[in-house]
Amino acid sequence: MDSAGSRLFSPLRLRGLEIPNRVVISPMCQYSAEEGLVNDWHLVQLGRYALGGAGLVFTEASAVTRDGRITHGDLGIWSDEHIPGLRRLAQFLRQHGAVPAIQLGHAGRKGSTQRPWEGGAPLQADTSGEAPWPTLSASPLPLSERAPSPTALSPTRLEVLKQAYVDAAGRALEAGFEVIELHCAHGYLLHQFLSPLSNQRKDQYGGDRSARCRYPLEVVDALRACIPEHLPLLVRISVVDALEGGWSLEDSIDFASHLKAAGVDLIDCSSGGLGGPATAAGVPRGYGFQVPFAEAVRREADIPTMAVGLIVDAKQAEAILQQAQADLIAIAREALFNPNWALHAEQALSPETGFSRWPQQVGWWLANRARILRKLGKLA
């Protein structure tokens, strides 16, 4: 396959923004911030994906309020103090060919916990060494038997929180991010409004599907109004809860149709997370196990989608795009394993590119090395 025939390395235009290729680095929490501030870990961790050829690079979920964090280590965007670090990060990504993107989130009842490698349990003031904070949700339903009950957000507090999302988007734009994604997945706050398993409100924000979608759609409307017309707004959803009586594919298709009408440009299709860790989807796992969700939402709601979940090699990613199952390919843990995944994928699909697309500081040396290895018979 030559370069011209590769969908994975063709650009995608969303509104006035062109993404140079279809490889996306999915948001991945690093739990390494202090008071939500970007540090050198985030710059190096995310910067290497831009150097590695990805077209769109997301920060991890950035909390729109201090009490919207999952852990004390989460990135934040609840104050202007967060802008300089985020600006440095966005500038580096753009300088090295990637579109800088940010995901805005609020953990809701899944907040105030330990980092995953510390056990992920609810923070305890007397044992954790880090202060817990009161959690919020759609309804006062705890995540588990060992978790504290969250406070149900009142209509007044919902208005305040909506403004926090808008303020966070403004900071992201000021910092130079060109893609904003709203996190409505993995059991975090806005997903808690969507699912009937976590939303048992009796007011206008609870009840049937339309009512449960109301607050997330209000946030979308507020964000779309503050984001410049030429820049896209994305939404990540868990297409299914994979729990009895939970959010379903049919619900997601209907929600995606409303998101499209509200000016959302692409749906990032994941699954699960409502009753446990974000990565513990109840859907059986196999290569590309969430791709059918992206395909169904794309087809039925007539909106571009992003596929994610055990997409591990170039031919698999290319086939997903060629078969019109999705418009973008997101990789996460595969990128942790190989930060140069995108460059290797391009070589696999278009061998004639050699090292021409690699950063000059690296590609020049590797091209010379390849010539030596060919002489030694180590390369075809």
Please report, to the nearest 10 degrees, the dihedral formed by the alpha carbons of residues 44, 45, 46, 51 taken in order. Answer: 70
Please report, to the nearest 10 degrees, the dihedral formed by the alpha carbons of residues 337, 343, 344, 349 taken in order. Answer: 140
Which 8-state DSSP code applies to residue 30?
-
Q: Which residue has the tokens 């809701």?
A: 108
- Per DSSP, the three-state class of 196 is coil
The angle, 0 to 180 degrees and rounded to 10, between the axes of the packed helices 209-226 and 155-175 is 40
DSSP H or E stretch at residue 297: helix 291-301
**By the 8 A CB rule, do 137 and 108 touch?**
yes
**By the 8 A CB rule, do 161 and 106 touch?**
yes
Q: Which of 31, 165, 188, 205 is catalytic?
A: 188
Strand partners of residue 81: none
51 is written with which tokens?
Answer: 């150097």
Which residues in 283-307 are b (16+ Cβ under 10 Å) and which e?
beeeebbbbebbbbbbeebebbbbb
320 is written with which tokens?
Answer: 């997903």
> CB neighbours of 374 closer than 8 A, spacing ≥ 6?
380
200 is written with which tokens?
Answer: 């048992």
Task: Please state, in angstroms and as integers, the Cα–Cα distance from residue 173 to each residue in 57, 117, 166, following that order.
Answer: 15, 32, 11
Ramachandran area for residue 95 (φ above 0: left; ψ -120 to 50: alpha; else beta)? alpha
Given the DSSP bridges, would you call strands 12-14 and 17-19 parallel, antiparallel or unpaired?
antiparallel
Q: Is 188 noted as a catalytic residue in this protein?
A: yes
User: Which residues are identified as catalytic?
Assistant: 188
